[in-house]
């Protein structure tokens, strides 16, 4: 793990090549991407100028597509430092790119945000990306998200937010793992099962886990207001926040 890329690079391997399998083993993830798209669309609706959306961790384009389909008047910059995944997105979403509604950055999240001007984005959106970051890196990313957003701009994140109740969180994680086994043993993909279990250990490690109360407090510390946890499905949650105007 280098200083230039201080977060889990698991998605460069087998998981990155078969990330769409996530829809099979964790259907809530696909639903969360849909909800992120709807939230972005609601914010963008009726605006006179083209809303600029920055998506962190675009991956294979699941959430990118949800945003572009729901918010028909926006432009998206999709940021992902894993070529294995982003190349799939470029193939999957080529028509959107050809229309000028989608561009790609191969930088890591923090570097990409730091290269953007202050007050240049209407929305920063993400799904299942921030929980992969180490805690200090995540804190820096949140500060940069706030800087890049225009006053009145919105942050939308569908992600793994660990429950504050440790016992409840453990039970929810156990249900998740049981789902991995049911889905992947049934199709004889023990190789993929191994990789997802290994990745889950990273998610749950002390320097990565994104505990709900800590994460929301971190957003407030960065300056955000109107912080809301709008939907929770086990360990998955939709969180929004606003950079207050003025």
**22 band by pLDDT with thresholds 50, 70 and 90:** low
Q: If you average pLDDT over residues 111-126, what whole number do you get?
A: 98
Q: How many angstroms separate the first and last alpha carbons of the chain?
A: 39
Percent of the chain's residues with pLDDT above 90: 64
171: pLDDT strictly greater than 80 = yes
Q: For residue 238, give the H/E element and its range.
A: strand 236-242
Spatial distance between the Cα atoms of 99 and 203, rounded to a whole number of angstroms:
36
What pLDDT was estimated at residue 177? 86
- H or E stretch covering 18: none
Give the model's pLDDT for residue 8: 39
Report pTM: 0.87
Q: Is the pLDDT score of 73 beyond 80?
A: yes
Residue whose tokens read 């006179």: 48
DSSP 217: H
Question: What percent of the chain stands above pLDDT 70?
Answer: 89
Does residue 6 have a pLDDT over 70?
Answer: no
Q: Count of H helices and E strands in the chain? A: 11, 7
Contact predicate 192/184, CB 8 Å: yes
Mean pLDDT, rounded, for 87-97: 91
Q: Does residue 2 carry a pLDDT above 70? A: no
Unique residue bearing structure tokens 């083993």:
25
DSSP-derived letter for residue 117 is P
pLDDT of residue 42: 97
Read off the pLDDT of each residue in 117-139 and give the average, rounded to a whole number.
96
Question: Rounded to an integer, what is the distance from CA 213 to the centroid of its chain?
Answer: 18
Mean pLDDT of 147-160: 97
- Model confidence over 178-218: pLDDT tens digits? 888 888 888 888 888 887 788 788 888 888 899 999 999 99
CA pair distance 97, 10, nearest whole angstrom: 27
By C-alpha distance, which of 208, 212, 214, 161 is closest to 9?
A: 208
Token code pair at residue 6: 């201080």
Helix, strand, or coil here: 101?
A: coil
């Amino acid at each position: 793990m280098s200083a230039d890329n201080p977060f889990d690079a698991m998605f460069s391997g087998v998981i990155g090549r078969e990330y769409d399998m996530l829809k099979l083993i964790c259907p809530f993830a696909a639903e969360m991407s849909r909800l992120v798209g709807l939230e972005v669309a609601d914010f963008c609706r009726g605006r006179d100028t083209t809303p600029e959306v920055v998506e962190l961790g675009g991956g294979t384009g699941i959430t990118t597509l949800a945003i572009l389909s729901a918010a028909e008047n926006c432009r998206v910059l999709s940021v992902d430092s894993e070529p294995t995944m982003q190349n799939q997105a470029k193939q999957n979403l080529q028509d959107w790119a050809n229309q000028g509604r989608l561009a790609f950055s191969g930088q890591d999240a923090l570097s990409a945000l730091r290269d953007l001007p202050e007050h240049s984005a209407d929305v920063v959106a993400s799904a299942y990306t921030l929980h992969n970051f180490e805690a200090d890196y995540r804190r820096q990313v949140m500060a940069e998200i706030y800087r890049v957003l225009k006053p009145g701009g919105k942050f939308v994140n569908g992600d793994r937010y660990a429950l504050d109740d440790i016992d409840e969180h453990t039970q929810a994680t156990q249900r998740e793992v049981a789902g991995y086994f049911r889905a992947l043993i049934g199709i004889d993909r023990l190789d993929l099962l191994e990789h997802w279990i290994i990745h889950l250990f990273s998610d749950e490690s002390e320097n990565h886990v994104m505990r709900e109360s800590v994460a929301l407090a971190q957003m407030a510390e960065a300056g955000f207001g109107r912080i809301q946890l709008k939907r929770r499905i086990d360990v998955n949650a939709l969180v929004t926040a606003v950079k207050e105007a003025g």
